[in-house]
A and B are shown apart, each in its own frame.
Chain A
Amino acid sequence: MDAPADAARAAWLAAQNWLKWQRRILPLFGAASLLFAWWALVTYFEVKPFIAPAPQVVAQVLVQKSDILFANLVPTAIEALSGFALGNLAAILMATLFVHAKSIEMAFFPIVVLINSIPVVAKAPILVLLLGNGMAPKIAIAAVICFFPTLVNMVRGLEAVSPQALELMHVLSANKREVFFRLRLPTSIPFLFSALKIAASTAVVGAIVGEWIGSQEGIGALIIQATYAFDSALLYATVICGSTFSVAFFLVIRMIERLCVRWVPANHG
């Protein structure tokens, strides 16, 4: 009400506003300074173009060869998205099975963990041998990569139900289906989304790694071609193209998460 309090409030608001602007501007400043350092290093040491390109050359390639980059991004995106859908769907179904049949979980869960520990680059050739040279092995690799983390998280999520909540459902004479759909599944949703956010980036990694082994098109194939041709500018542009897609995919999943999971207090993000 009185003047000093108003002044204090105005000062506090101004400080909050400044803080908000800092949060937006400082990351941009950080990125710009790194770009500048990159440009300065390449120019000062006269680095050869086949070792590392200057940033403005990469930007040029991004514009000039955008049609080639886009044509190669499409198959990679299709593989990553299909693999993501298949792998996660299979993981959710298997987690549901595990939760309802403990003996199956006990028999197969250790094997799941074991397979999960095999590196992607080791799994990829096996799947290429099994599935041939088309899109199928890439989709399979992306799916396999998504499958295991989601399975592990989903099982944890479906079992993260408090004993009292189960007792409550029993007092209400809820049947198994009701316990699953009204209690276990909603409980698991935040767990599922943290797995999906990981899977969004790893599915792209899986598709690219799959393309490294015998493929004519796709971001992975373009990376290999550019490397063997010592075309470092194209290599960098391809990498930027692939990671932009991966980040966009991640952001879409996070947006869906924010729409679906409104009950978790907003203290992580």
Chain B
Amino acid sequence: MSERREVAALEDISLSLVPGSFLTLLGPSGCGKSTLLRVIADIIVPTSGSVRVLGRSADEARRQREIGFVFQDSTLLPWRSAIDNVRLPLQVGGSVRPARRGRSPEELLALVGLAGWENSMPHELSGGMRQRVSIARALLGDPKILLMDEPFGALDEITRDRLNDELLDIWRQTGTTILFVTHSIHEAAYLGQQVLMMAARPGRVREIVPVDLPEPRELAMRDTGDFAALTGRLRRILETC
């Protein structure tokens, strides 16, 4: 029988995100990528240490709706239509809900390419469309930071490639800051302006790799030597994590 011991899930991490930047988070499974996102979003409260987000406590940042969260599963409420799912943030958290700001639910659905699908129920939508609805929901209220936890991990590769491009479009149009967790080296390299590599046990920042691919990104870039060199470098760093 092994003794139970406590393992520090995360150790002394400080992230500085330039407003409007796109940072991808890459690391082996169990390195605490998802935990880090959940600590920032105040879903998990660390047992020791403190968290500061945008200069205030994580709790306060959550109450001010500074953070939008996209889960791996679209987490739509199946009894609500697409538009009513996007409206959910307007209907809960009443006492702490800040004044309405940013795009309307209708505009957000159009932004994610679902104009005309407002009244469709989740079970009538494909997996990719459901995930777009959940992105629209996370963008409601114009959050300063969008946290995305392997949002396309459960989708097929063709849908995933398309959504990668659409996410970049959405990011350029909204100017929001995105922190994107993935376990795909290609996705991390293609989406991010920087790739933050994490190492496990305890979870810590291993290296921040800048991505110097030309903007705007296009899928054809994945076939270039520059892209292969970048993913090769990321893979070699991962082997030491």
Q: Which A residues contact B (CB, under 8 angstroms)?
A: 162, 164-165, 167-175, 178, 182-183, 186, 189, 262-265
Q: Which single residue of chain B is at the shortest CB-CB distance from A179?
A: B92
B92:A169 contact, CB within 8 angstroms: yes
Interchain CA distance A162-B76 in the complex, whole Å:
11
Q: Which single residue of chain A is at the shortest CB-CB distance from B38?
A: A167
Interchain CA distance A263-B84 in the complex, whole Å:
13
* Chain B contacts with A in 62-91, Cβ cutoff 8 A: 62-63, 65, 67, 69, 71-73, 75, 77-79, 88-89, 91
Q: Which of A170, A182, A263 contacts B91 (CB 8 A)?
A: A182
Using a Cβ–Cβ cut-off of 8 Å, how many residues does chain B contribute to the interface with A? 28
Q: Tell me if B8 counts as interface (CB < 8 A to partner A).
A: no
Residues of B within 8 A of A189 (CB): 79
Known: A165-B77, A175-B94; 8 extra A-B contacts, CB below 8 A, are A167-B38, A167-B71, A168-B71, A169-B92, A172-B65, A173-B62, A189-B79, A263-B123
A171:B95 contact, CB within 8 angstroms: no
Q: Tell me if B121 counts as interface (CB < 8 A to partner A).
A: yes
Residues of A within 8 A of B97 (CB): 173
* Chain B contacts with A in 36-80, Cβ cutoff 8 A: 38, 41-43, 62-63, 65, 67, 69, 71-73, 75, 77-79
User: Interface residues of B: mostly helix, strand, loop or mixed?
Assistant: loop
Q: Which of B63, B65, B75, B96 contacts A162 (CB 8 A)?
A: B75
Q: Which of B78, B88, B123 contacts A172 (CB 8 A)?
A: B88
Interchain CA distance A174-B42 in the complex, whole Å:
13
Q: Tell me if B122 counts as interface (CB < 8 A to partner A).
A: yes
Query: Known interface pairs A170-B43, A263-B78, A263-B123. Does A164 touch B93 (Cβ–Cβ under 8 Å)?
Result: no
Query: Known interface pairs A186-B79, A263-B121, A263-B123. Does A167 touch B43 (Cβ–Cβ under 8 Å)?
Result: yes
